[in-house]
Amino acid sequence: MDNGHIFQKSELEHILSDCIDKTLSEVDSKHVLASKKANKGYPGMVIEQSVLNYPADNARRPDLVVDGVETELKTTGIVKSKKHGIKYEAKEPVSITAVRPKYIVNEEFEKSGFWEKTAHMLLVYYQYTHKASANAPLTYGDFPIRGFEFKDIDGETKEALKKDWTIVRDFIRQIQHDYPDKPESQYPRISSDLNRQRLTSIDTAPKWPNPPRFRFKRRFVSTLVQEYFGKKFDKLPDTYTSFEEIDAKCHELTQKYSGKKISELFDIFNIKTGKAPSKEDAERVVVKMFGGTASKINKVEMFNKYSIIGKTVVITKKGYRTEDMKLDSIDFEEVQKQSVTFEESSFKTIFSDPQYLCIIFEEPSHDAPFAENKFLGFKRCFFDDSFIENEVQPIWESMRKLIFDHTLKNVPQLTSKGEKRYNKNGTLREAPNWPKSKDGIVFLRGSGRDSSDKIVNINGVQMYRQNIWVKGTYIVRTLEELPYL
């Protein structure tokens, strides 16, 4: 490795500490950002060339040697979190290294190119502080550097990464064995068959025939980011390093507690809330089942790292749905960037990244209190490629068309008789002409305290924060086809 890449840790800490809260343009002494049209790769180039003062380098080995240890430099974007108690979260997944089918089949994890790049990392975090619009690109130079950390991967996290990587390697080995003449014809399955069904912390993207790369999933990166900025996650007493181990625990818990009412589970786990149990308390019960103390699944480190989102699903005695499922909020900065494709969008990631651990309850009647609902068990599901292609991508394209064609507008909400509806304060009830539940399985719905809480502005159209929703009928139909864990 050339001398320009060799550092003492104390030297790097001094250099990077001097950059905290400075913008990328302020530290860009080599004018990297001015050299070409900036894109998301340029913050990393600024750190390499202007801050650490070594030339552009595409070598496969780790970027740096720090106190004699090969260390990979990763510069990654963060955004302010909309979630209570969380300062920042990752803007996107973090690309690690190429998936090379020709070579990976002969590798072992400890000697693999992937582990070489992840065992020891220097993570530099910069913040997206403003949004793009339909006509204005992002100006990366305005983004400040918010922090850095040396991260050594070990313990439970290393074991989870090892299992994920081994799944990919063994899958490629099997393809090459089964299709010796044309293994490339099956390589698209590396992503479609593995990403959501089996991999906890990493995925591969883009899809073959485009050269795929190993990536840390966005939620995995968010856990690292949040811990760095002071978030304390609940740590479970037991270790889980694969979905199989989590499924086995869910099976054990279902065997033990299925059929019990919420009120009974509250008594068993000595849960005191000071009020009657509600749907919001269901996750508290599940965390207690796993031996944790947090009130929500998203406050538990393991569930965050493995992109597992808890969803309470209440069904009737006949198995009907009781309500639609709310997913994540929409990054309109990204939606308005014409250069962003659906494949690389966080809009797609909302569906392609997480697993949904559905906690199934049965209500005895429509008017029964939640405490009377009966726990049935767990089902783990995800949205497959067909759903994403046929139901999600059209929503993305419809939203973009409304924005870029300047046809987005607020329209009055009407009663069943076709009359205009008004809020209690006398203002007209209206909503943007985004895709609605009547239009398909996936739709948009806004939420806010009152009509004054319309803080989102797109092309001059004021609106509430917008979330993606999936129809409850589809969720229940999907769950019906899955066995209980």
* Cβ atoms 430, 413 nearer than 8 A: yes
> How big is the CA angle at 428 (ends 424 and 434), to the nearest 5 degrees?
120
Identity at 275, one-letter amino acid code? K
Q: What three-state secondary structure class fits 7?
A: strand
Q: What is the DSSP letter of 48?
A: I
The pLDDT tens digits for 411-448 are 887 777 777 777 776 677 788 999 999 899 999 998 87
pLDDT greater than 50 at residue 378: yes
How far is the first Cα of the chain from the last one, in angstroms, to the nearest whole number? 50
pLDDT digits (tens, 9 = 90+) for 19-30: 999 999 999 999
β-bridge pairing 64-66 and 6-7: parallel
Task: Tell me the residue type at 5.
Answer: H
Q: What is the pLDDT of residue 72?
A: 95
Q: To which H or E segment does residue 9 belong?
A: helix 9-17
Q: What is the mean pLDDT of residues 164-176?
A: 98
pLDDT of residue 236: 97
Give the max Cα distance, the chain: 77
pLDDT one-digit tens code per residue, 314-326: 888 877 766 899 9
User: What is the average pLDDT across 182-204?
Assistant: 93
pLDDT of residue 134: 52
CA-closest candidate to residue 45, choices 160, 136, 140: 140
User: pLDDT band at 175, cuts 50/70/90?
Assistant: very high
The string of pLDDT tens digits covering residues 340-355 is 889 878 899 899 889 9
Distance CA 436, CA 438 (A): 5
Strands of 128-197, DSSP E: 145-152
Kindly indicate the confidence band of residue 376, based on its pLDDT and cuts at 50, 70 and 90: very high
Q: What value does the mean pLDDT take over residues 462-482?
A: 91
Tokens matching residue 184: 């490339």
**DSSP reduced 3-state for 308:** strand
Residue 181 Ramachandran class (φ > 0 left, ψ -120 to 50 alpha, else beta): alpha
Q: Do the Cβ atoms of 125 and 74 come closer than 8 Å?
A: no
Which residues make beta-bridge pairs with 73? 122
What integer is the mean pLDDT of 231-248? Answer: 96
Q: How far apart are CA 46 and CA 23, in angstroms?
A: 11
Average pLDDT, the chain: 90
**The pLDDT of residue 321:** 66
Q: What is the C-alpha separation between 314 and 374, in angstroms, rounded?
A: 9
Tell me which DSSP letter residue 330 carries: P
Tell me the CB-side half-sphere exposure of residue 90, using CA atoms within 13 A.
Answer: 27
pLDDT in the model for residue 87: 93
Q: Report cis status (omega within 30 of 0) of the bond before 209.
A: yes
pLDDT at residue 131 is higher than 70: no
User: Among residues of the chain, what percentage have pLDDT more than 70?
Assistant: 95
Contact 192, 175 (CB under 8 A): no
Report which secondary-structure segment, H or E, holds 244: helix 243-257
Q: Other C-beta atoms within 10 Å of 363: how many?
A: 17
Judged against a pLDDT cut of 80, whether residue 100 lies above it is answered with yes
Distance from C-alpha of 23 to C-alpha of 16, rounded to nearest angstrom: 12
| 277-297 confidence digits (pLDDT tens) | 888 888 999 999 999 999 999
34 vs 378, residue with greater confidence: 378
pLDDT of 366 reads 84
pLDDT for residue 138: 66
Distance CA 21, CA 12 (A): 16
Instruction: Answer whether residue 135 shows pLDDT above 60.
Output: no
316 alpha-carbon distance from chain centroid: 31
Give residue 65's pLDDT. 95
- The mean pLDDT of 327-341, rounded to a whole number, is 87
> Does residue 140 have a pLDDT over 80?
yes
1 — pLDDT class (breaks 50, 70, 90): very low
Specify which residues 420 forms β-bridges with. 414
Coil, helix or strand at residue 154 = coil
Tell me the pTM. 0.87
Mean pLDDT of 101-127: 97
What is the C-alpha to C-alpha distance for residues 359 and 379, in angstroms, rounded to an integer? 7
- Closest alpha carbon to 197 in 46, 42, 385, 387: 385
Q: Which amino acid is at 189?
A: R
The rounded distance, in Å, linking the Cα atoms of 69 and 483 is: 47
d(CA 478, CA 202): 25
Percent of the chain with pLDDT over 90: 66
Q: Please answer whether residues 395 and 443 qualify as being in contact, where contact means their C-beta atoms are separated by less than 8 angstroms.
A: yes
* Rounded (to 5) percent helix, strand, coil in the chain: 35, 25, 40
Q: Which helix (H) or strand (E) holds 8?
A: none
Q: What is the pLDDT of residue 322?
A: 65
Q: Is the pLDDT of residue 4 over 60?
A: no
476 band by pLDDT with thresholds 50, 70 and 90: confident
Q: Which domains does the chain have, with CATH numbers?
A: 3-228 (3.40.600.10), 243-382+473-480 (no CATH), 390-471 (no CATH)
Q: What angle do CA 232, 466, 384 make, to 5 degrees?
A: 75
